Structure 1
Amino acid sequence: MNSPFELFGLTLTLSTAISFFPALLALVALTFLMHRTAIGLAIVSVILGYYFEIINMIAALGITSLFLMSYGFNHFQRKLIKWLLGVGIFVFSILFFIHAFPGFSNPLVIESYMVSNNAVPFSKHLNFDKLMVAIALLALVVPRGRTSMGKNSGKVFVLSSLAIVSGLAGGVLSGLVEWEPKLSPILVGWVITNLLVTCYAEEAFFRGFIQTQMQNTFKHHHLGDKLTVFCSGVLFGLVHFPGGLAYTLIATILGIGCAYGYQKTNNILVPIYIHFVFNLLHFCLFTYPFLA
């Protein structure tokens, strides 16, 4: 059952593939607003993950708590209850993101791979905890109402493109990366994990959850929209501070682009794909993950 095999550039075991596949399908379902289907698939993934010892009972209870808090946050109207549930979602999401919540055994699927000859080796875990944050928030918290994409699409395209180009240029100028076009053998596996785990989870949290609360806080301020976009971008940059000042500034630029796209369209898919396009261009055209 646990003999490793290669699939799309990822080193998997059958138990890992079986456990994660329903959760990945859940995010695809959420892309098409199939919320109940996504929650059902997430439940299947948690059961399989527990059976194959990717998570233990403590992690399963943590996931259940996150989903229940997300459901309550969306349905309770009393401010105190909603505030407490929001704090709970924030704390659990952060703990899941930094892999500090006990009970998860996130499998290593890419180990010390040299994507670029002059780069540090690249490793990647398939993060069950982060994946559950994405599903919980997108299924139960993040609003997906009518969008204003049509009238704002031009502005969003221009500013997000500017943010992507500025961020990548900043990486070159700061010495983090160099121009290095390539077609890596692990591209497909990287795309699956980066889009469906990293980008969906981070944008669901930073834009769909945090930015929405910022928007509600600043809505009566005459500069409310601008403050929301700026603060959302800066917060996204600050969480990347362990990577250094240049990395923080690049993440801030990208965060502002993603925040603007979400603020103008009210569609979480917009910042998800802005984020992913930046990461994809970085992976395919520049040193990845960064110069040694």
Structure 2
Amino acid sequence: MILPLAVYVACLPLAITIFWCLLAPVSHPWFQAVRLAGITLSTLAAITAGLIQPAGVLGLLVLAGLVHAGQHSRSSVLRTLFIATALIFAIAMALHIVPGFERVAIYRGVLSPGSTEARIGWTLDKALAGLLLFGLYRPASTSPYRMHTLLAAAILMVCVLFAGYLGGLLQWSPKNMNIVALHWLFGNLFLTSFAEEVVFRFWLQNTLAKHWHDRSYGSSAAIAVTGLVFGLSHLAGGPFYALLAAGAGCAYGMVYGVFRTRLAPVLAHVGFNSVHFFLLTYPLAQMG
């Protein structure tokens, strides 16, 4: 289906701003200014399109204030408190608990035989929360992993999919590219995967790696713990689903550890999800 033009116009500055955050050097003198301008323009365009209501604007202002306080507080205790509160509030936005954000329905139905019902839609709360939280990003200071880790990450992702197949959550069910798939791909890249990587790889994994930098297992432990937390965030799908998500999260962390670029784990995340979407039952296989 084709959405109203205003929806696409609202999403365009959002996508451009996310690309800027993923590709531009953080040391660029205009980096933060462009990020904040992009968030502002995206919000105004979304308001015009009817995608954000006053309560949503208030939520964004609250999160922006918490991130700013976390960045500039001189007290380490207050800084930790503000950052923790910002993360909790951002997670609430990502879970669509914070009101004021309208969902644009794209598709509801069975994408392929043997699949459970898919509900595909766009909301901007998670992506905007990710862009605001990006203000807490600090580049990783640990040494890059060797390239053989990339092979291990690829093997791990294949094992996760195979385990899902053996466990009955997934079945072979290839799909063709169509308008619904294009909308799903855009949403998965800009409205889902980016925000999740900001929280789990760019903040949590980096923070843990910095905290454990003087220990031989520091980087590996940071990847494992972050992957576990990532899995727990998917617990709504059931324990086995969360276990598979933890494995995938570890793989994304390993990719991040190899390349040390912000784009790499996002592409790994979207690539894994795309294999799931285009080649297997989505979201899951019908049981029984």
**Taking structure 2 as the reference length, what is the TM-score of the superposition?**
0.88
Question: Do structure 1's residue 143 and structure 2's residue 134 form an aligned pair?
Answer: no
Task: Determine the structure 2 residue equivalent to 1:107.
Answer: 104
Question: Do structure 1's residue 120 and structure 2's residue 111 form an aligned pair?
Answer: no
Question: Do structure 1's residue 258 and structure 2's residue 249 form an aligned pair?
Answer: no
Give the secondary-structure state (helix, strand or coil) at the position aligned to 1:192: helix
Task: Determine the structure 1 residue equivalent to 2:239.
Answer: 245
In the superposition, relative to structure 1, how do residues 155 and 210 fare at CA in structure 2: closer, same or farther (>3 Å)? Answer: same
**Taking structure 1 as the reference length, what is the TM-score of the superposition?**
0.87
Question: Do structure 1's residue 219 and structure 2's residue 210 form an aligned pair?
Answer: no
Task: State the shift of 1:213 in Å.
Answer: 2.5
> In 2, are the aligned partners of 1:147 and 1:267 still within 8 Å (CA)?
no
Task: State the shift of 1:264 in Å.
Answer: 4.4
Task: State the shift of 1:36 in Å.
Answer: 2.6
How many residue pairs are counted as aligned between the two chains?
Answer: 279
In the superposition, relative to structure 1, how do residues 116 and 46 fare at CA in structure 2: closer, same or farther (>3 Å)? Answer: same
> In 1, are the aligned partners of 2:23 and 2:263 still within 8 Å (CA)?
no
26-35 or 205-214: which moved more?
26-35
Q: Deviations over 1:68-92 (max 9, x none)?
A: 3323433445311210121121111
Counterpart of 1:24, as a letter, is A
Gaps of 5+ in 1: 1-5
Q: RMSD value over aligned CA atoms?
A: 2.2
Of 7, 20, 26, the residue aligned with 1:16 is 7
Residue identity over aligned pairs, in percent, reads 24
Task: Determine the structure 2 residue equivalent to 1:98.
Answer: 95
221-230 or 84-93: which moved more?
221-230
Counterpart of 2:114, as a letter, is N
Task: Determine the structure 1 residue equivalent to 2:28.
Answer: none
2 CA distance for matches of 1:235 and 1:218? 17
Question: Do structure 1's residue 181 and structure 2's residue 174 form an aligned pair?
Answer: yes
Task: State the shift of 1:276 in Å.
Answer: 1.2
2 CA distance for matches of 1:142 and 1:113? 38
> In 1, are the aligned partners of 2:115 and 2:281 still within 8 Å (CA)?
yes
Task: State the shift of 1:231 in Å.
Answer: 0.8
Task: State the shift of 1:212 in Å.
Answer: 2.3
1 CA distance for matches of 2:12 and 2:245? 30
2 CA distance for matches of 1:160 and 1:71? 35
Task: Determine the structure 1 residue equivalent to 2:66.
Answer: 69
Task: Determine the structure 1 residue equivalent to 2:27.
Answer: none
2 CA distance for matches of 1:104 and 1:182? 31
Question: Do structure 1's residue 274 and structure 2's residue 268 form an aligned pair?
Answer: yes
In the superposition, relative to structure 1, how do residues 230 and 265 fare at CA in structure 2: closer, same or farther (>3 Å)? Answer: same
Give the secondary-structure state (helix, strand or coil) at the position aligned to 1:163: helix
1 CA distance for matches of 2:117 and 2:60? 31
Give the secondary-structure state (helix, strand or coil) at the position aligned to 2:41: helix
1 CA distance for matches of 2:7 and 2:251? 35
Gaps of 5+ in 2: 25-30
1:5-44 to structure 2, matched below 5 A, reads 6-7=1-2, 12-33=3-24, 34-44=31-41
Task: State the shift of 1:255 in Å.
Answer: 0.9
Q: Deviations over 1:116-152 (max 9, x none)?
A: 12111211221211010221123x1222478965xx3
